[in-house]
Amino acid sequence: MSAFLWITVVSLAAWCWLLLCQGFFWRTDVRLPRRRDPEAWPSVCVVVPARDEAAVLPASLPSLLAQDYPGRAEVFLVDDGSTDGTGELARALSERHGGLPLTVGSPGEPPAGWTGKLWAVRHGIALARAREPEYLLLTDADIAHAPDSLRELVAAAHGGGFDVVSQMARLRVESRWERLVVPAFVYFFAQLYPFRWIGRRGSRTAAAAGGCVLLRAGMAEKARIPDAIRHAVIDDVALARAVKGAGGRVWLGLADRVDSVRPYPRLHDLWRMVSRSAYAQLRHNPPLLLGTVAGLALVYLVPPVAVIAGAAAGSAPVAAVGALAWAVMAGTYTPMLRYYRQPLWLAPLLPYTAFLYLLMTVDSAVQHYRGRGAAWKGRTYARPDAVPDEG
């Protein structure tokens, strides 16, 4: 058996393992868990960190103000040094639409060791504490919520006994590049952090989606959120780990009616979103980077190369094994494409998208070693571990 055939067999074996043994990550049926309405609806404070978000606020903030929540709820938007009138626009939208009370605050420049977003979250939580809420909803300024979103989140936390209930908002998929890259982004995230494992008792897998995180206020204090994660690169995952480390329970799943309205029309926009934190995900570790590149190549690139090379060389076994691995790969991607209402012919293109992600990861490492830090909303962070989540 040729060496390349062996490599192709290993790639197929890897896909069989991912299909059956990685928490069925490819399934998209992990939605809000069993809900039970509380006898008395707890109070909730919604914290929205916002920096230069005037372009998206008209499509997102009114949905928060219009929440149909039976208990007491209030929105705190923290204007993190915006230069586009974000704070003034938020007040105008509140006056125009009414609904839940809105407070707009400003935290000032973050001190050394804090990212802007987490410093804004800290300020918002501090404002909210005066209301003594039982829950905090941390949501990004680009996230639009269905009218019953807050009610459903609280009922899910109450019914399942969770300290964190997080939904991965449905990202926008309108441009050509969004259709190609965005569903794969969520697919890869679920592969790294299988949703079924996160909510399982005793599981060490922890993750959340920063755009929509309902957090029990008592657990926020116990886990020292956000102070304990002020250096975190991927702050939503760090938040979930801190909560689990403090003995809390976390649930994460896909959203039905929680949507991101932020556009990523160009490949450059998506490239920045991914490369901003890709190397941080690897803990800035060169061996992990090399292993990741090799793993991506083995799992995603070998199957189509085997089909082409096997057909060109007249090696039926190489082509057949490669085709089978490619078919399993495409099959696992199909549910995510259906979730995003995208054509299924995009499934066989997953190797191409994975190659783009491989290049984004390498670029993230290159930028790190060039000492450029990371930029977010016009603010540059020299520290490699001081990069907030996009939003």
The number of folded domains in the chain is 2
Does 276 lie in the same domain as 258? no
Does 255 lie in the same domain as 276? no
* pLDDT-derived band at 374, boundaries 50, 70, 90: low
Residue 372 lies in a domain: no
Q: 167 - beta bridge partners? A: 253
Chain centroid to Cα 206, Å, comes to 12
Does 314 lie in the same domain as 232? no
Q: How large a percentage of the chain has pLDDT more than 70?
A: 94
| pLDDT mean over 25-46 | 95
Q: 135 - beta bridge partners? A: 44, 216
- pLDDT score at 193: 97
Does 232 lie in the same domain as 109? yes
**Low-confidence winner among 116-125, 184-193, 205-214, 236-245 (lowest mean pLDDT):** 116-125
Does 172 lie in the same domain as 109? yes
Cα dihedral across residues 117, 236, 269, 272: positive or negative: positive
Does 290 lie in the same domain as 315? yes
**pLDDT at residue 90 greater than cutoff 50:** yes
Please name which of 336, 366, 360 lies closest in space to residue 349, comparing C-alpha atoms. 336
Residue 387 lies in a domain: no
Mean pLDDT across the chain, nearest whole number?
93
Residue 38 lies in a domain: no
Does 306 lie in the same domain as 195? no
Residue 226 lies in a domain: yes
Domain end marker among 264, 288, 323: 264
Residue 383 lies in a domain: no
Does 219 lie in the same domain as 102? yes
| pLDDT mean over 110-131 | 88
More confident residue, 367 or 324: 324
Over the stretch 264-273, which tens digit does the pLDDT of each residue have? 999 999 999 9
Over the stretch 197-228, which tens digit does the pLDDT of each residue have? 999 988 999 999 989 999 999 999 999 999 99
- pLDDT score at 1: 55
Burial class (CB in 10 A: 0-12, 13-18, 19+), 3: exposed
| pLDDT mean over 279-302 | 94
Largest separation between any pair of C-alpha atoms in the chain: 73
- pLDDT score at 383: 46
**pLDDT at residue 378 greater than cutoff 90:** no
Residue 325 identity: A
Domain end marker among 246, 264, 282: 264
Residue 33 lies in a domain: no
- pLDDT score at 390: 43
| pLDDT mean over 152-172 | 96
**pLDDT at residue 159 greater than cutoff 60:** yes
CATH number, domain with residue 63: 3.90.550.10
- pLDDT score at 67: 98
Cβ(76)–Cβ(124) under 8 Å?
yes
Query: Strands 374-376, 250-260: parallel, antiparallel or unpaired by DSSP?
Result: unpaired
- pLDDT score at 387: 44
Over the stretch 230-263, which tens digit does the pLDDT of each residue have? 887 788 999 999 999 999 999 999 999 999 999 9
Does 253 lie in the same domain as 290? no
Give me the domain span that covers residue 314: 3-24+269-366
Kindly provide the b/e burial profile for residues 6-29, where b requires at least 16 CB atoms within 10 angstroms of the residue's own CB.
ebbbebbebbeebeeebbbbbbbe
Structure tokens at 271: 């490239």
- pLDDT score at 110: 82
Which region holds residue 104: left if phi is over 0, alpha if psi is between -120 and 50, else beta?
A: beta
Does 197 lie in the same domain as 108? yes
Stated as kind and residue range, the H or E segment containing 235 is helix 235-245
Does 74 lie in the same domain as 190? yes
Cβ(60)–Cβ(143) under 8 Å?
yes
Strands (E), the chain: 44-50, 73-79, 102-105, 135-139, 143-145, 164-170, 212-216, 250-260, 374-376, 379-381
Domain end marker among 264, 295, 317: 264
**pLDDT at residue 174 greater than cutoff 80:** yes
